[in-house]
Structure 1
């Protein structure tokens, strides 16, 4: 049974309490807030033969089959490899499933995550099933970046926003999920995760604070000319590229904010405040804006799974970052 998160209680009651269900839902919102778990709970509820109120009973034949991963009327579609695209052949398998008759005589339920991982051909292959799914079929689509979806996909679904929990709810949950961490560490993790509590827990498990310390130390040495571009790019090559670009995008945004407001309380986490302030004072605003544009453009390529040379991309990033101070 998927975990029920406290911040989803109202949304769960709204969705599970429906007497009639749409043929397709698009659950969208930031990564790390439990959308997949919400979809799995709803999938279990829709397939259950003897629902217990708003939840699946967990005891009927359908629930046992689902728990074993052998339910014949359930189809889960996700990338074959992490961070890879969902291929058109995978979607064709889904389409073949949708047109079949439910073997247990109830609903068929499809869970697809993340929707944005589909390439154009795969997304187009899904449209017919989204518009007119055969029989009593419900498609549950989960998206972390709905802006990347085709309008034709979004328009065929009931769109359900899944908002971030507030900071207090997130910190309360993290206190239980990470009892070995102190409050300051949990707050830092939540900030690094953009307010997403599940992402904060995952970052802690991945050792993100140690990775962050390594990157911050490298940035400081780069600006003091104590470390070279190639050396740093080599030492960071095993880190997630999107995480690095997120940090540099954030630091650039903080620099621009400080240049406009001179608000020292808005300089971000303590580990980079002095660096952000120094660069904001030393770098012309047009260079910071150009840096931000470049970072956002490259970040989009990383998100789009473009075939990039990671080492060269990191070196290009560091060359531009080192050149920020001074006229230009």
Structure 2
């Protein structure tokens, strides 16, 4: 299996369950893989698709040698379909769903299963979800729909009720820390700090370390600190950041605010996510009114929900308003 179709150690139990279901001929026609981002749900779904499409699986694993495995290795298996937003943050549209579900109802080119993997399923707009319902209600023979969902509350109840749901959770801190340290050649203290920033999601921690997200987070946190110190203003920082992926910024903001609540609780040695921002957090926690913190939490959550529902706000104005509220915490 390649990196895009792995069964991570903390998912072994779920994998064994599905392999057993398949061996008994009891797989459903639709699987909903739900849980926090960064735990390996999409790789799990891709691995299952590979197993089901393989012509000669061996002991719950694809053979890697048959024509179907060769097609998957090339990235062009005609009976394995992927449905994603055309751009990050954009919805999955009804015409995308209709195009792929039409293929699902045709004859499998390699025989056996036809499989569609949708990621993230909550990106469907209402029309797309209604179009998918028709396929969920009348699936074709040897058809499997795998829905990968990071925000279950954003998925229509009628979609959820027609799928067999598998719940994925964060692995234990010990398991994540050891795995991450080995993957990224880190010591366990470094791995623990990175995991805290990624809120316990091991693959999220890998993305932070290997991509550009760590630099974006660093710039965002630095900007928030500069706003508090009057080294920059809300409008200037919003202009600098408004073209970035806002979901990441809002998630990091919520994580900071949660740390402020922990600090103000008075508990000894609070377990902070943003350990690299302890100095700023302590200064804000000592001066900020708790009601204002919770009010800002609500506002950030509302803006995040609006983005997830595919509303199209004025991104710069959104950031400006939140940054003014952020600055007001210590006034």
TM over 0.5: yes
Deviations 1:145-195, CA, capped at 9 Å, x for gaps: 11110010010000001221111221222122211x443332222112121
Q: In the superposition, relative to structure 1, how do residues 104 and 155 fare at CA in structure 2: closer, same or farther (>3 Å)?
A: same
Distance 1:224 1:70 in 2: 53
1:13 to 8, 13, 16: 16
Distance 1:5 1:268 in 2: 23
Shift of 1:310: 2.0
Shift of 1:238: 4.8
CA contact (8 A) 1:101 1:135 kept: no
Distance 1:29 1:291 in 2: 26
| TM-score calculated relative to the size of structure 1 | 0.92
SS in 2 for 1:226: coil
Shift of 1:262: 5.0
In the alignment, structure 1 residue 178 sits paired with structure 2 residue 184:
yes
SS in 2 for 1:25: strand
Match of 1:53 in 2: 59
Displacement over 6 Å in runs of 4+: none
Q: In the superposition, relative to structure 1, how do residues 280 and 13 fare at CA in structure 2: closer, same or farther (>3 Å)?
A: same
Structure 2: unaligned runs, 5 residues or longer: none
What are the residue-to-residue correspondences of 1:1-328 with 2, within 5 Å?
1=1, 2-18=5-21, 19-20=24-25, 21-179=27-185, 181-326=186-331
SS in 1 for 2:265: helix
Distance 1:163 1:24 in 2: 20
Distance 2:49 2:41 in 1: 12
Shift of 1:76: 1.8
CA contact (8 A) 2:197 2:273 kept: no
Distance 2:211 2:318 in 1: 23
Shift of 1:208: 3.7
| TM-score calculated relative to the size of structure 2 | 0.91
Deviations 1:27-67, CA, capped at 9 Å, x for gaps: 11111111111111111111111111101111112222222
CA contact (8 A) 1:50 1:56 kept: yes
Distance 1:76 1:238 in 2: 27
Aligned length: 325
Shift of 1:140: 1.2
CA contact (8 A) 2:196 2:275 kept: no
Deviations 1:200-256, CA, capped at 9 Å, x for gaps: 111112244433333333323322222222222233345432222122212222223
Distance 1:295 1:29 in 2: 21
Q: In the superposition, relative to structure 1, how do residues 101 and 253 fare at CA in structure 2: closer, same or farther (>3 Å)?
A: same
Deviations 1:270-315, CA, capped at 9 Å, x for gaps: 3332332332332222222211111111111223332122222221
Distance 2:11 2:260 in 1: 35
